[in-house]
Amino acid sequence: MRTVDRTPGVATAAPARPVAPVDLVAAGVISAAGVGLDALGDALRAGRAEGGRPDAARDTETYPPVELRAADFAAVDLLGRKGLSRLTRADQLGAAACGLALDSVADPAGTGVVLGTSLGSAGAVARFARDTFVQERPYLVNPSDFPGTLMNSAAGRTAIRHRLTDVNATVSGGPLASLHALRYARQTLLAGHARRILAGGVEELSPQSAWAWHRTGALAPRVALGEGAAVFALESPGERRGAGTPPLARLMVCTTGFADVARGALVVAHRLTACVEGALRRSGLTAQDVAVVAPGAAGRRGWAAVEERALRAALPAAADRHRLPVHAVLGETHGAGAALQVAGVLARWQDPRLDTRHEHAALVTSCGPDGSVGCAVLVRANAPV
Amino acid sequence: MSDKAADAGRRVVVTGLGAVSGLGLGARAFTAAIRAGRGGIGPVEQFDATGFERSLAGEVRGFHPEMHLRGTDPARWGRSGRFAAAAARMAVLDAGIDQRELSALRTASCFGTTNGESQVVERLTERWVTDGGLAGLDPVLAGQADAGRIAAAVSAELDLSGEALTFGTACAASNYAIGYSFDLIRTGEADAVLCGGADASNRATHAGFHRLGALAADVPRPFDERRDGIVTSEGGAALLLEPLDAALARGARVYAEVLGYGMTCDARHMTNPDAVSIAECIRRAHHNAGVKPGDVDYICAHGTGTRANDATETAAVREVFNDSPPPISSIKSMLGHTMGAAAGFGALACCAALFEGFLPPTATVRQVDSALGPDLDCVPGQARAARPRVAQNHGFAFGGNNAVTMFGGFSR
């Protein structure tokens, strides 16, 4: 069996195999900044987003005293009226973001869906469970609410709306969920299970989840609680031969790993360092190539220090490296976070008002409270493979 | 087995099995119960079943996580995470591999679930209802609610550094996990993977199926003319996957080879299954595994025991197998429906069947439903001695998610 070099006490995994890149050919983004990459780019430049109204219609519960940054979108504009009331907020965000990404795809045949989420619609899960306690009989729940309590509801509803009969997967993992989705989609695409995959993350704001954040004290000071969805159409470069428009960016690699947080935050930081170093090595890049960093852990109290330590170790200081603090603009978006970080990079790279031509590669990172870590390496679309 | 792609990569084998189930703890106990056709259905104990008209479940009894977990404190995890971690620990012990060696490798953990940490959510909800509001949410429980912690519990227990990935593709989730794990090892992305699934018995799931009229009056009777639904169940199933070369080098016992898998999505309805999509899923699995329908000796059915599932599944199988399917049975007849763990238990049954030489039974079938077509061999009663070489494992889910994994017998 192959073994790997290990720092004592720190598990590392440094696969040396080079990677086959996949292209991000389209994006569907819904956030507190509004709909689309342009709106996100504007908000990132301004350093703030107004946010929309939280979905309050289904719930008599009020929100805790935390700043909220709801997604700014009108579901009816993106999905139409038909069947809309049956969809949870997470369903709406996921299906609408996938629809936006599909709009730029000429032939949707052979398209799969892979969504990352913490637990789907926390609001739907909690309301359904509540009904088993408060109804006259515990089984007198509303049967049409049942599918919406499942984690794969958004992906399933998306498939139905857009008639997507290929790979359809839902992955969990808190703040790592979107990176898990991108990694799974990449591997699955390269293994030939689909021609194209819509991959990203979705997270809804609900009173239930907001109270959970508030009560656990997990939200970092001065960070709003957000929601949103970002989905990217992934294709193998070979699939696109002859296609007219260049891709938005190229996903070189997406790597995730684990180090039990019970062994200390330092061990988690080391694991993330190893993850980033391995990802850059496999991408054929050096730390100097990384011109943009979009970190993901700063919305969670105490975790910015862990992520920053890992980044300092993996990337020597560079004066012209740009920091993209997506959470400071969109709020902590949990399961959708890393996908919105990727969207932030794309928004920056396509913004004609910014001269970013020299920016070759971007790094998106995250770490979760259990010790899961991960990163994605993106390069500009015109970069040689 | 001819049309397998030339760049198929490393061969992948199953060398360890772990089970935390209503049929017993450990793969030995699980397999023995399956062979004997012994059921594990009893009264609900994991939640207060007062007020339900159906109150049977396939629950795990006598499970003391502290007797199984060595690397992590059980109190950190919900019941689903404990199931997964204990099953994974069992699989490692069963494989006879040194855990430190496994830790030093690029070892991943991939587990499927339908309801995540449902008992954690249930306790949070109960306090929301009884203690007057969300402002009193228990912060410790709230911190344990994320479904992604199921795979994390396994990685913490076994000190694994590879990815810890939880699939939420409902009742097909274990097959997604096994299929992805196969690809990870095949392509060299990982050197070993603990994979499978876990779910815990809970009130909301029971209520949901109850309300849909999908719960059986006593035991589930898949393929029976009087079948009347599922019985909700729980458990954790785990498989250790390794590259064949590595397994042979350490003289490991090889239960079976993972041949491949396929996935489709119905994209029609959230809860009604679709035969066309299931048939396509089976064809994709065959193609990916490089097998022809005639090579398949046994099908471990999704076989929930609802009218709709068994009719749809049988129709799809008949289409792919040109109306003469191999023996097809449902271990849910004994286990009940373990949700996100179901396809993981199916995989365990397939591996045991290939290794030991038997066909798992549909234990509770009395009169096979003639509407399912002629000559349906669902192996009624007890296991049948046989020498299957290729087994096909079904997993279908709400949301229209289908995944089929293929296993082959392995002999040196």
Token pair of B191, please? 């050197």
Query: For the whole model, what pTM was predicted?
Result: 0.96
**In terms of Cα–Cα distance, which of B61, B23, B65, B54 is closest to B203?**
B54
Spacing of C-alpha B351 from chain mean position: 12
pLDDT over threshold 80, residue A6: no
3-state secondary structure of B81: helix
The predicted model gives A12-23 an average pLDDT of 67
Q: Which residues in chain B touch residue A132, judged by CB atoms under 8 angstroms apart?
A: 203-204, 207
> According to the model, what pLDDT value does residue B4 have?
47
The predicted model gives B238-260 an average pLDDT of 98
**In terms of Cα–Cα distance, which of B108, B197, B194 is closest to A374?**
B108
8 A C-beta contact, residue B72 and residue B144? no
* Strand A196-203, strand A111-116: pairing: parallel
The predicted model gives A185-213 an average pLDDT of 96
Q: How confident is the model at residue A15 (pLDDT cuts 50, 70, 90)?
A: very low
E strands within B301-344?
328-329
User: Which member of A117, A141, A207 has the closest CB to residue B211?
Assistant: A141
- Note which residues in 232-261 of chain A have CB less than 8 A from chain B: 255-260
Burial string for A317-331 (b: 16+ CB within 10 Å, else e) reads eeeebbebbbbbbbb
> According to the model, what pLDDT value does residue B2 have?
34
Chain B residue at shortest CA distance from A151: B168
The predicted model gives B334-358 an average pLDDT of 98
Q: How confident is the model at residue A106 (pLDDT cuts 50, 70, 90)?
A: confident
Q: How confident is the model at residue A13 (pLDDT cuts 50, 70, 90)?
A: very low
Q: What is the pLDDT of residues B4-37, one digit of tens each?
A: 444 689 999 999 999 999 999 999 999 999 999 9
Cβ-defined contact of B166 to A171 (cutoff 8 Å): yes
- E strand or H helix at B112, and its extent? strand B107-112
**In terms of Cα–Cα distance, which of B222, B246, B229, B10 is closest to B105?**
B246
Token pair of A239, please? 């699939």
pLDDT over threshold 50, residue A14: no
CA distance B6 to A171: 30
> According to the model, what pLDDT value does residue B132 have?
74
The predicted model gives B320-338 an average pLDDT of 98
Chain B touched by A146 (CB under 8 Å): yes
The count of CB pairs under 8 A between chains A and B is 292
8 A C-beta contact, residue A247 and residue A385? no
Token pair of A274, please? 């190893």
Cβ-defined contact of B152 to A120 (cutoff 8 Å): no
Q: What is the pLDDT of residues B221-239, one digit of tens each?
A: 999 999 999 999 999 999 9
Q: Which residues in chain A touch residue B163, judged by CB atoms under 8 angstroms apart?
A: 180, 183, 255-258, 372, 374
Q: How confident is the model at residue B1 (pLDDT cuts 50, 70, 90)?
A: very low
Long-range CB pairs of A79-88, under 8 A, 24+ apart, other chains included: A79/A161, A86/A144, A86/A148, A87/A148, A87/A157, A88/A120, A88/A121, A88/A123, A88/A124, A88/A148, A88/A153, A88/A154, A88/A204
Chain A residue at shortest CA distance from B398: A147
Specify the amino acid at residue B345: F
The owner of tokens 């992934």 is A234
Q: CB count, 10 Å around CB of A5?
A: 9
Stretch among A9-13, A60-64, B107-111, B161-165 having the lowest mean pLDDT: A9-13
The predicted model gives A277-302 an average pLDDT of 97
Write phi, then psi, for B46 (nearest 5 degrees).
-80, -15
> According to the model, what pLDDT value does residue A60 have?
77
> According to the model, what pLDDT value does residue A245 have?
77
| Backbone dihedral region for residue B372 (phi beyond 0: left; psi -120 to 50: alpha; all else: beta) | alpha
Chain B touched by A178 (CB under 8 Å): no
User: Which member of A162, A218, A370 has the closest CB to residue B152?
Assistant: A370
Close Cβ partners of A81 (under 8 Å, ≥ 6 residues apart): none
- Note which residues in 346-375 of chain A have CB less than 8 A from chain B: 368-372, 374
E strands within B266-356?
298-300, 328-329
> According to the model, what pLDDT value does residue A2 have?
37
> According to the model, what pLDDT value does residue B274 have?
97
Distance between terminal CA atoms of chain A?
31
Q: Which residues in chain B touch residue A4, judged by CB atoms under 8 angstroms apart?
A: 104-106
* Strand A228-235, strand A22-31: pairing: antiparallel
Write the ipTM. Answer: 0.97
Q: Which residues in chain A touch residue B147, judged by CB atoms under 8 angstroms apart?
A: 118-119, 151, 172
Q: What is the pLDDT of residues A314-334, one digit of tens each?
A: 999 888 899 999 999 999 999
Rounded to the nearest 10 degrees, how much is the dihedral formed by the CA atoms of B78, B83, B89, B92? -140
Stretch among A245-249, B156-160, B300-304, B362-366 having the lowest mean pLDDT: A245-249
> According to the model, what pLDDT value does residue A140 have?
97
The predicted model gives A183-198 an average pLDDT of 96
- E strand or H helix at A184, and its extent? helix A177-190
Stretch among A54-63, A140-149, B202-211, B385-394 having the lowest mean pLDDT: A54-63
Cβ-defined contact of B152 to A259 (cutoff 8 Å): no
Q: What is the pLDDT of residues B199-220, one digit of tens each?
A: 999 999 999 999 999 999 999 9
Query: pLDDT above 90 covers what percent of chain B?
Result: 97
| Strand partners of residue B165 | B110
> According to the model, what pLDDT value does residue A55 have?
80
pLDDT over threshold 50, residue A65: yes
How many angstroms away from the CA of B35 is the closest CA of chain A?
33
> According to the model, what pLDDT value does residue B5 have?
47
CA distance B251 to A184: 31
pLDDT over threshold 50, residue A12: no
pLDDT over threshold 90, residue A161: yes
B337 is catalytic: yes
Q: CB count, 10 Å around CB of B262?
A: 23
> According to the model, what pLDDT value does residue B411 have?
83
**In terms of Cα–Cα distance, which of B405, B224, B260 is closest to B332?**
B224
Candidates B68, B286, B302, B394; catalytic one: B302
Distance between terminal CA atoms of chain B?
18
Candidates B68, B286, B337, B394; catalytic one: B337
